[in-house]
């Protein structure tokens, strides 16, 4: 028995060949299908979170050590899901994702300029390690203060939101 309908003189032989369904009988099921398709769950994604992180933040703590450098900044681009940070010399950058309060980060990369101040170089290394530790951890924003924690709850970064333009 053939799997495809047989053809004779250009016409398909089928038991429902001349069956027609009126369009008004298809309208309601089609609309119901479209309506239900729009009701899919996105509970795991926190859409406002990307915008909550979006912008520039001044770093105030890295791995529990306070810092007071005005050029120590971290910036989140919620649209591109990109993060970049600096403490005054090189730039560290990565991609991030948010799900609920979880923070996932790709392996950070950095520019490789020679920094005149060895303390800045050490601080950059600490920042890079802190960002790596934040992968799989949590984030929290309260009163324009961002806190990133490692998966074990260890404080990784603390930053103060800068004024939005």
Cβ atoms of 87 and 127 within 8 Å: the answer is yes
Degrees, nearest 5: CA angle 120-123-124: 85
Instruction: Provide the pLDDT for residue 150.
Output: 97
Cα–Cα distance for residue pair 118/137, rounded to 1 Å:
29
Cα–Cα distance for residue pair 143/57, rounded to 1 Å:
13
Domains of the chain: which residue ranges? 7-37, 47-161
Instruction: Provide the pLDDT for residue 46.
Output: 44
Instruction: Provide the pLDDT for residue 42.
Output: 40
Q: What is the CATH number of domain 47-161?
A: 2.40.128.270
Instruction: Provide the pLDDT for residue 33.
Output: 56
* Residues of the chain with confidence (pLDDT) below 50: 12-16, 40-47
Instruction: Provide the pLDDT for residue 39.
Output: 54
Cα–Cα distance for residue pair 162/165, rounded to 1 Å:
9
Instruction: Write out pLDDT tens, residues 79-127.
Output: 999 999 999 999 999 999 998 889 999 999 999 999 999 999 999 999 9
Instruction: Provide the pLDDT for residue 67.
Output: 95
């Amino acid at each position: 028995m053939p799997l495809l309908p047989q053809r004779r003189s250009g016409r398909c032989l089928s038991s429902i060949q001349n069956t027609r369904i009126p369009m008004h009988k298809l309208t309601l099921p089609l609309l119901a299908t479209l309506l239900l398709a729009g009701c899919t769950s996105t509970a795991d994604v926190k859409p406002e979170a990307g915008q909550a992180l979006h912008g520039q933040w001044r770093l105030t703590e890295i791995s529990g050590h306070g810092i007071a450098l005005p050029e120590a900044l971290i910036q989140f681009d919620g649209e591109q899901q990109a993060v970049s940070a600096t403490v005054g010399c090189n730039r560290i950058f990565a991609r991030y994702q948010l799900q609920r309060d979880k923070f996932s980060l790709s392996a950070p990369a950095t520019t490789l300029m020679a920094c005149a101040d060895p303390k800045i170089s050490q601080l950059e290394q600490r920042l890079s390690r802190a960002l790596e530790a934040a992968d799989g951890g949590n984030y929290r924003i309260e009163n324009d203060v961002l806190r990133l924690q490692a998966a074990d709850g260890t404080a990784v970064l603390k930053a103060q939101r800068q004024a939005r333009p």
